[in-house]
Amino acid sequence: MARRTLPIFKNLTQRPTPAPFLPKSHPNTRSVTYMPRPGDGAPRPVTLIPGDGIGPLVTNAVEQVMEAMHAPVYFERYDVHGDMKRVPPEVIESIRKNKVCLKGGLKTPVGGGVSSLNVQLRKELDLYASLVNCFNLPGLPTRHENVDIVVIRENTEGEYAGLEHEVVPGVVESLKVITKFCSERIAKYAFEYSYLNNRKKVTAVHKANIMKLADGLFLESCREVATKYPSINYNEIIVDNCCMQLVSKPEQFDVMVTPNLYGNLVANTAAGIAGGTGVMPGGNVGADHAVFEQGASAGNVGNEKLWEQKKANPVALLLSSAMMLRHLQFPSFADRLETAVKRVILEGKYRTKDLGGVSTTQEVVDAVIGKLD
């Protein structure tokens, strides 16, 4: 028996060594990235605020896509409008219970005695961190390439504290409040976000050369937190120079941490550079609750023409809802949604007017549903 097997053995040893096994690349290849706990697949309630203007259009787009994916979420809808004096108590209670909210834009009247419901929500729920991700979408032409900026903004104090009064007729005093507590926690959030998302640099935006005490305290807090994250580069930039650098060389920025007002300006500037407010996702988060909405300014909330023609861009809120799904620990659903949106943008057939197309909101939604794996 040994003699018979010897030639076979020699034949085998003389064959060329096979190439090492390599897994076949396939677009649907899955990797073991998330092992759910028992019960993690139970449907989760999400508070839904359609809002004003185009808000109902784009929130309905999210509802359609979630239903098409059979995503494990269901919505509790509440009608809230920007001209209300306060956010209804039942809405606050719903968000406290569900811990997650998806929101369309709420129009804030300019001037007058009506305060912003957006600011009310942030303060009531202590949503102290606003996050806007401004990045190039493949297939969408922009002036700058390699833009991938995350703007993390303190959300509860600064100029948005709303502390204003008329000293004497014709003289109004508006107070900017900066505290050590709020500055430290937004700095910690920015560095923690960078650490968990493999980001390499945090830039603090300030005007401490003029507001030496207020912005000086913000910078002092950022510097202290930075010492606890030696693997992350830290630098600082004055806000006016920051705006100039953003429009000339935005790829130099990674994560930016800002006080309240500067963050609003920087996020909208970065969004315009990377493709427009209609495609930038974002959200507001605190220790216990999170509200997801269009990342940069919803300046088109009251655009009646967009509403009448049903041509509002749903991309920003769709991507924000993908962020929400990750927050809820449904990563595969988030990946499917984000991938489908990016495929539609890359293909370029269905785009709304702000992206150079003529499509309606519904046509974009149908295209995204068609691209779902």
| Residues 6+ away with beta carbon under 8 Å from 324 | 46, 100, 102, 283, 290, 292
| Residues 6+ away with beta carbon under 8 Å from 178 | 157, 158, 214, 215, 217, 218, 259
From the list 273, 263, 284, the residue with the least C-alpha distance to 106 is 284
E strands, the chain, are 44-49, 73-77, 100-103, 129-135, 148-154, 164-168, 171-174, 201-206, 233-238, 255-258, 281-285, 290-294
Q: What are phi and psi of 265, to 5 degrees?
A: -70, -45
| Residues 6+ away with beta carbon under 8 Å from 3 | none
How far is the C-alpha of 320 from the C-alpha of 325, rounded, in Å?
Answer: 9
Tokens (6 digits) for 116: 């912003």
For residue range 112-122, list pLDDT tens digits in order: 555 788 889 99
pLDDT along the chain (373 residues), means of 10: 40 40 46 74 95 91 97 96 90 97 86 74 94 94 94 92 87 93 98 96 97 96 97 97 96 97 93 91 96 79 73 95 96 95 96 92 96 92
SS3 for 303?
A: coil
Tokens (6 digits) for 84: 């209300």
Per-residue pLDDT, 159: 86
Tokens (6 digits) for 141: 């032409």
How far is the C-alpha of 51 from the C-alpha of 48, rounded, in Å?
Answer: 9
Could you tell me the domains of the chain?
41-131+280-372 (3.40.718.10), 143-161+170-274 (3.40.718.10)
What is the per-residue DSSP string for 93-140? HHHHHHSEEEE---PPPSSSSPPPHHHHHHHHTT--EEEEEEEPPTT-
| Residues 6+ away with beta carbon under 8 Å from 69 | 333, 336, 337, 372
- Quick check: 159 and 263 in contact, CB under 8 A? no
- Quick check: 132 and 282 in contact, CB under 8 A? yes
From the list 93, 94, 121, the residue with the least C-alpha distance to 105 is 121
- Quick check: 270 and 132 in contact, CB under 8 A? yes
How far is the C-alpha of 294 from the C-alpha of 283, rounded, in Å?
Answer: 7
- Which residues does residue 129 pair with via DSSP β-bridges, in sequence order? 154, 285
From the list 162, 131, 103, the residue with the least C-alpha distance to 255 is 131
SS3 for 14?
A: helix
In angstroms, the Cα distances linking 315 to 207, 233, 343 are 34, 32, 12
How far is the C-alpha of 157 from the C-alpha of 182, rounded, in Å?
Answer: 8
For residue range 170-224, list pLDDT tens digits in order: 999 989 999 999 999 999 999 999 999 999 999 999 999 999 999 999 999 999 9
From the list 368, 354, 186, the residue with the least C-alpha distance to 271 is 354
